[in-house]
Amino acid sequence: MDEVLATILRRDPEQREFHQAVGELLATIRPVLDRHPEYRRHAVVERLVEPERMIMFRVPWMDDQGAIHVNRGYRVEMNSAIGPYKGGLRFHPSVNLSIIKFLAFEQVFKNSLTTLAMGGAKGGADFDPKGRSDAEIMRFCQAFMAELFRHIGEDTDVPAGDIGVGAREIGYLFGMYKKLQNKFTGVLTGKGLAWGGSLIRPEATGYGVVYFTAAMLAHRGETLAGKRCLVSGSGNVAQFVAEKIVQMGGTVLSLSDSSGHIYDEEGIDASKLEFIKTLKNIHRGRIGEYSERYPHALYVAANPTLGWNPLWRYPADCALPAATQNELNLADAQHLAAAGVRLVCEGANMPSTPEAIAFFRDQGILFGPAKAANAGGVAVSGLEMAQDAMRISWSREEVEGRLRAIMHTIHRTCLEAAAAYGLEGDYLAGANIAGFVKVADAMLDQGLV
Ligand code: NDP
Ligand code: 2IT
């Protein structure tokens, strides 16, 4: 396995995020490879770290002033052993091949954990949607789909949202796909309810994270009731993490965006959350406006030169990072422990650095890893695909019930997979092992392809 890491470092020396994601998986599956020599014999890991296909393309578009811009689009189809490629699209200026590959790699194992038949992929563009008009967003989405459409399909590759891609973008992308293919199919998930979407898909990732958190607590005889929670981000995942915590009787103390964070000692309740949803999803404003509306709340501007995030210093019981990768480092982890936090559950993909994770594990802080904890979003995407295929739609209760059941199954699967290797209570190892074994076995069954 050291050889596998050496190979990917040599091949793509600049892909730091991808190396990090692979390194984290490999560190925990060694006992599986020792017990199952067939995986080594069939070079399963070597095959898993090389995408089945990578597509990179030019995205030319025109802004409202008539100026022409050229962005770079990506779709990395990582693995299709257990189902069609599946995973989100990210529009953010930081997007590059390393970030898309790390996300696609994580997606393979996450999708495996959902119990549904989905392979792993991720895509996106280095496009910055901030400050762009609706018309500009529409033209960008159309230009992006003008190339992507030839690579995707309801039985081939089914994209969805991620950072910077929500309901609005999925609508424009879907409209363009339908026009180009002259086909109305479930080629994207996260669609509107009137055109093939599923109830609960917008809520699914955040709700799922909180169901997973509650399951970790329940396993220790505790509940979320009365727990003080620090949440980062204020986008799709963070909003519904916060909503479900409040519904389950916890208190949400914070939210953030890339400009800074808010801290509300009295708790961000359901009506304050409605204000945030309107602010973020309709006015596309900044989180700082919360403390103008609720002057008792603190707003602290982001200060990247600090090297740590003051959001993780408030006294609390639980922390749920839900913004982006590597947003929580060793210093933050130490601050969380000092502030009394006993549980960290990841809403974002790879939000904790390897040093932060090692520290949590050393300290006995309960740690819910992203590929298990945030799998509810893609799980409900899988349910959306099933509903599209049957041309029916399930009720809110039906979908939320299935989501809750899937999250409980993932929680149990993690514990069982860890216990099978003598790693009782290690959710990180359990998620990696269970996610890996299912994909690896499917690859063995299907031969060298
Ligand atoms: P959104 O675009 O809705 O929200 C992203 C949030 O994170 C915003 O508050 C944004 O602030 C903040 N953020 C993004 N990039 C940075 C950055 N570089 N530094 C600081 N803050 C940042 O995305 P989602 O809520 O959908 O995604 C959040 C995380 O959850 C991502 O890691 C994503 O991969 C993951 N995820 C999403 C799923 C989904 O179904 N949507 C499913 C599973 C995981 P700002 O507006 O200022 O940029
Ligand atoms: O990271 C993720 O799991 C997502 N962005 C959701 C993917 C999906 O296909 O719903």
pLDDT (tens digit per residue) in 392-417: 999 999 999 999 999 999 999 999 99
DSSP-assigned letters across all residues of 274-291: HHHHIIIIIS---TTHHH
Q: Tell me the pLDDT band of 2, cut-offs 50, 70 and 90.
A: confident
The full set of domains in the chain, from first to last, is 1-47 (no CATH), 51-183 (3.40.50.10860), 204-373 (3.40.50.720)
Q: What is the pLDDT of residue 68?
A: 98
What is the C-alpha separation between 168 and 359, in angstroms, rounded?
Answer: 39
Percentage with pLDDT > 90 across the chain: 100
φ, ψ at 13 (rounded to 5°): -60, -20
Q: How far is the CA of 208 from the centre of ligand 2 (A)?
A: 12
Q: Tell me the pLDDT band of 1, cut-offs 50, 70 and 90.
A: confident
Q: What is the 3-state secondary structure (H, E, C) of 78-132?
A: EECCCCCEEEEEEECCCCCHHHHHHHHHHHHHHHHHCCCCCCEEEEEECCCCCCC
Q: How far is the CA of 7 from the centre of ligand 1 (A)?
A: 31
Average pLDDT over every residue of 76-100: 98
Q: Which among 210, 223, 207 is positioned nearest to 368, based on CA atoms? A: 210
Pair 275, 290: CB distance under 8 Å = yes
For residue 161, give the ligand 2 atom closest to its CA: 5
**CB-count burial class (<10 Å; 0-12, 13-18, 19+) for 69:** middle
Question: Strand, helix or coil at 6?
Answer: helix
Examine the residue annotation and report whether 277 is marked as an active-site residue of this protein: no
Q: How many CB atoms lie within 10 A of CB 10?
A: 8
Whether the predicted pLDDT of 368 surpasses 90: yes
Residue 28, ligand 2, Cβ within 6 A: no
Whether the predicted pLDDT of 110 surpasses 80: yes
Dihedral sign (CA 127, 129, 132, 133): positive
Q: Which among 240, 352, 364, 217 is positioned nearest to 252, based on CA atoms? A: 240
Q: What is the pLDDT of residue 328?
A: 98
pLDDT in tens, 317-346: 999 999 999 999 999 999 999 999 999 999
Residues with Cβ within 8 Å of 284's Cβ and at least 6 positions away in sequence, in order, are: none
Q: How far is the CA of 446 from the centre of ligand 2 (A)?
A: 26
Which protein residue has the closest C-alpha to ligand 2 atom 10? Answer: 378
Average pLDDT over every residue of 195-207: 98
Q: What is the pLDDT of residue 80?
A: 98
Q: Which ligand is nearest to the CA of 89?
A: 2
Identify the residues whose C-beta falls under 6 Å from ligand 1: 92, 94, 161-164, 166, 205, 233-238, 257-259, 322-324, 347-349, 374, 377
What is the C-alpha separation between 253 and 282, in angstroms, rounded?
Answer: 23
Residue 162, ligand 2, Cβ within 6 A: yes
Question: Strand, helix or coil at 176?
Answer: helix
Q: How far is the CA of 103 from the centre of ligand 2 (A)?
A: 9
Pair 55, 151: CB distance under 8 Å = yes
Residues with Cβ within 8 Å of 368's Cβ and at least 6 positions away in sequence, in order, are: 209, 212, 213, 216, 343, 344, 345, 346, 427
Which protein residue has the closest C-alpha to ligand 1 atom 18? Answer: 324
pLDDT in tens, 36-85: 999 999 999 999 999 999 999 999 999 999 999 999 999 999 999 999 99
Mean pLDDT of the chain: 98
Length of the chain: 449
Sheet with 254-257, side-by-side order of all strands: 254-257, 260-263, 298-301
Q: What is the pLDDT of residue 375?
A: 99
Whether the predicted pLDDT of 155 surpasses 80: yes
Residue 166 tokens, joined: 């929500």
Residues with Cβ within 8 Å of 228's Cβ and at least 6 positions away in sequence, in order, are: 250, 251, 253, 315, 316, 317, 318
Residues with Cβ within 8 Å of 13's Cβ and at least 6 positions away in sequence, in order, are: none
- Cα–chain center distance at 209: 10
Residue 381, ligand 2, Cβ within 6 A: yes
DSSP 8-state secondary structure symbol assigned to residue 323: S
Give the active site residue among 101, 122, 191, 272. Answer: 122
Q: Which ligand is nearest to the CA of 322?
A: 1
pLDDT in tens, 239-251: 999 999 999 999 9
Whether the predicted pLDDT of 171 surpasses 80: yes
For residue 374, give the ligand 2 atom closest to its CA: 3
Q: How far is the CA of 351 from the centre of ligand 1 (A)?
A: 10
What is the C-alpha separation between 232 and 248, in angstroms, rounded?
Answer: 19
